[in-house]
Amino acid sequence: MAGWLHSKTGLNWRAAALLGLISSTFSTLVSQFLAARIGRDAVVDWMVVATIPFRDGMLHIEPSWPAIIAGILFHQWADFSWAVVFFGLFGRWTAGLSPQAILLVAMPWALFTSAAEWFFLVPLIPFWQPIFTLNQPYWIGFLVHAVSASMYPLFPWLRDWLANRLPSPHRRFTAVWSGLAAAGLLVLGTVAFLGWQNREPPWMDENPGFDQSYMRRMAAHHAQGVELAQIAIDKAQDPYLKNLAHLMGADQKGEIAMFRQWWRSWFEGDLPPPSPQEHAGMPGMLSREQMESLRRTNGADFDPLFIMLMTTHHQGAITMADEALREASDIRLRLMAHATRHAQRGEIELMHGTEGWQAVKSATLSLFAPAGEAPADRRPSAPSTHRH
């Protein structure tokens, strides 16, 4: 065993494991610091990741610390595993590459690994969990994998260090690359800290009219969505639907918090409610009578009515998000709108029991199709629930 550890193959596996610890930790920190800058609630995203191995019981309208920690650890295990596969299992071809060559293949590898997870490993074999793919658009996973793979050029120096081959010929590249990574983390961490103090990077354009109106309208729309979700948490008969209600509430509460943080940073003061004209023009908003009808409904009649009303509500948010993709001035709002559109379409699919290849197909089409053309834009008259 000792001989294997010091052999060329054993050295590759040891260096790959060390690199996996570094790359997974780096991607976790970057994800945490960057999330709010592009309109993501990191704790909700970690909770969704936790559902992959631990299933739907991880979902809570207020993400719990066990769910957050489980999501982070599972993410780090996945990133660690991909580094070990790249330099351990495939070490015969990759371990001898220079840092510059590794950098060239790292991004295609990130594209492959993120696609493998999003399109196959998570929604199909071995996890068969559609929530992740239907809730998070593919580009988020690719960004995370790209950040992790950006640490792969450190491998040659790590292998030399473990083998006591010092000074390593790769020391200068490693020093520069590590310094850039540390500086990037410092900048992102500083920006994140300032954001938590309501000092996000300023709004970027000249005429904020549409962006302000969209933020007011979507925050109010989400507030009703949270109210709907809370009713289902209390009254839904199907445990799977009750878990989905936790997810829908957490998603929308997270986006409301982001709108408020951005508003205080960009325009000063608290996020105001929409004007009466804006409120009247919001698609998918339920009437007071519809909300009261849902509150009065109990037993077996509740779940179909909730699915119908939440589908209608989500379809309105999808229309609004699609409009923001076309009209919003700040790129952060457009990124957030795309993720909102994807998640709301995905939650409609989840309420109607979509899984397997159909979930992959629906999520893929949802990435590109405009409002009204994605398979998630269902008729709300024929709901069906699904049980894990």
- Which CATH number covers residue 253? 1.20.1260.10
* Contact residues for 243 (Cβ-Cβ < 8 A; gap 6+): 56, 57, 59
State the Cα angle at 80 between 75 and 83, rounded to 5°.
130
- If asked whether residues 21 and 164 sit together in one domain, one would say yes
Residue 164 and residue 122 in one domain = yes
Q: Which two tokens stand for residue 94?
A: 């990759």
pTM over 0.85: yes
Both 240 and 292 in one domain: the answer is: yes
Residue 203 inside a domain? The answer is no
Give CA separation, 300 vs 156, 211, 295, 304, 385, in Å: 62, 42, 14, 8, 12
- Choose the final residue of a domain: 196, 229, 258: 196
Determine, yes or no, domain membership for 344.
yes
Measured in whole angstroms, the distance separating CA 268 from the mean position of its chain's CA atoms is 28
Whether residue 45 is found in the same domain as residue 22? yes
Report the C-alpha gap between 262 and 196 in whole angstroms. Answer: 10
Contact 287, 387 (CB under 8 A): no
Q: Total domain count for the chain?
A: 2
In a domain? residue 52? yes
d(Cα 150, Cα 107) in Å, to the nearest integer?
A: 8
Residue 153 is given by DSSP the state: G
Task: Establish if 119 belongs to a structural domain.
Answer: yes
Euclidean distance between CA atoms 257 and 198, whole angstroms? 11
Q: Are 372 and 362 in contact (CB under 8 A)?
A: no
In a structure prediction context, what are the per-residue pLDDT tens digits for the chain, which is 388 residues long?
545 455 788 899 999 999 999 999 999 999 999 999 999 999 999 999 999 999 999 999 999 999 999 999 999 999 999 999 999 999 999 999 999 999 999 999 999 999 999 999 999 999 999 999 999 999 999 999 999 999 999 999 999 999 999 899 999 999 999 999 999 999 999 999 999 999 999 998 888 999 999 999 999 999 999 999 999 999 999 999 999 999 999 999 999 999 999 999 999 899 999 999 998 899 999 999 999 999 999 999 999 999 999 999 999 999 999 999 999 999 999 999 999 999 999 999 999 999 999 999 999 999 887 755 555 445 444 444 454 4
Q: Are residues 120 and 231 in the same domain?
A: no
3-state SS assignment for residue 205: coil
Residues 314 and 230 in one domain: yes
Do the beta carbons of residue 23 and residue 162 sit within 8 Å? Answer: no
Structural domain including 45 reads 2-196
